[in-house]
C-alpha cells in the first residue's frame, strides 16, 4: 500500500540549490509506526496530469499543513492579518484533490489540508481568528506533542465511530472555516470553531481535522491514522 502526501516548499539562504520541496517527518513516522511495510510518496508541486498519474499509484492521499490559503481562491480580498500564502501550492493541491476524487481515493486533510477541502467545495475561511470576534488563541505555546484544548466529536460522523465525545488536541492555526463547503458536514468543534469536517454521501472517505495528530502520541491520534489506513486498505491496488 502507498500513501501520497502533498508537499510544501521553501527557499533557503544559499547560493546553491535554494529551492526545496519538503515534508515534515512526523507525517511519515505516524504512518510507519502503524504499518512498517507501507510506502509513502511525497508529491512535489506539479501539473494536473502528472499529479493524476502519481495518484493512480497510490491508495490514499494526505493533504498536509502549511501556508495560509490565498483568499483569492475563495473570492475574497486579502486582509491585514493574513499570513504567508503560496498560490502555486493552492492550485497544485486543489488539482490534487480533484484528481483524488476522480480516482476514488480516500483523503485525509490536516490543518491547512482540512481548510483546503472546505475551500475546494466552495467554503470560505476567516483569514484570522480575530475576524471571528473570538478571544480564543489557537496557536499554542506548548510543544506540538502536547494538547492545549478539547474538541467535541459530533455524533453520527466518521470520527464518532471510534473516538469518545471529547478529546484533547494540539492547536497551531490562526485561521478557521467561516462557511462550510457544499456537501460537507462538521464532525468536530471547539466552541464556535470548526475542528473537523467530512464529505457527506461519498463512496470514498474524505475528511479533515484542524489539529495536528501526526505529532501527538496519544491513543486517539493514532486511531485517526489507523482508521484512515483501514479505509485505504479496502481500496488497495
Q: Would you name the residues annotated as active-site residues?
A: 111, 212, 214
Pairing mode, strands 106-110 and 206-209: parallel
> What is the chain's alpha carbon radius of gyration, rounded to the nearest angstrom?
17
C-alpha span between 7 and 207 (Å, rounded): 18
Closest alpha carbon to 95 in 44, 57, 39, 26:
44
| Phi then psi dihedrals of residue 63, to 5 deg | -95, 115
C-alpha span between 93 and 89 (Å, rounded): 6
Contacts of 74 (CB under 8 A, 6+ apart): 119, 122, 123, 124, 125
Amino acid at each position: 500500500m502507498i500513501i501520497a502526501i502533498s508537499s510544501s516548499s521553501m527557499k533557503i539562504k544559499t547560493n546553491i540549490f535554494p529551492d526545496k520541496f519538503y515534508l515534515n517527518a512526523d507525517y511519515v513516522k505516524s504512518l510507519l509506526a502503524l504499518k512498517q511495510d507501507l510506502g509513502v510518496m511525497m508529491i512535489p508541486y506539479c501539473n494536473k496530469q502528472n499529479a493524476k498519474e502519481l495518484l493512480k499509484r497510490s491508495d490514499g492521499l494526505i493533504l498536509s499543513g502549511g501556508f495560509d490559503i490565498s483568499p483569492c481562491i475563495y473570492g475574497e480580498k486579502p486582509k491585514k492579518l493574513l499570513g504567508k500564502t503560496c498560490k502555486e501550492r493552492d492550485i497544485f493541491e486543489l488539482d490534487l484533490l480533484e484528481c483524488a476524487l476522480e480516482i476514488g481515493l480516500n483523503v485525509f486533510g490536516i490543518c491547512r489540508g482540512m481548510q483546503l477541502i472546505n475551500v475546494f467545495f466552495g467554503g470560505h475561511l476567516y483569514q484570522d481568528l480575530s475576524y471571528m470576534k473570538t478571544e480564543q488563541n489557537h496557536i499554542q505555546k506548548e510543544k506540538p506533542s502536547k494538547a492545549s484544548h478539547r474538541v467535541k466529536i459530533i455524533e453520527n460522523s466518521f470520527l464518532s465511530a471510534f473516538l469518545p465525545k471529547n478529546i484533547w488536541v494540539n492547536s497551531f492555526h490562526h485561521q478557521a472555516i467561516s462557511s462550510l463547503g457544499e456537501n460537507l458536514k462538521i464532525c468536530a468543534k471547539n466552541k464556535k470553531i470548526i475542528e473537523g469536517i467530512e464529505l457527506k454521501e461519498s463512496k470514498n472517505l474524505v475528511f479533515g481535522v484542524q489539529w495536528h495528530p501526526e505529532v501527538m502520541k496519544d491513543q486517539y491520534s493514532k486511531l485517526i491514522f489507523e482508521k484512515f489506513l483501514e479505509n485505504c486498505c479496502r481500496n488497495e491496488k
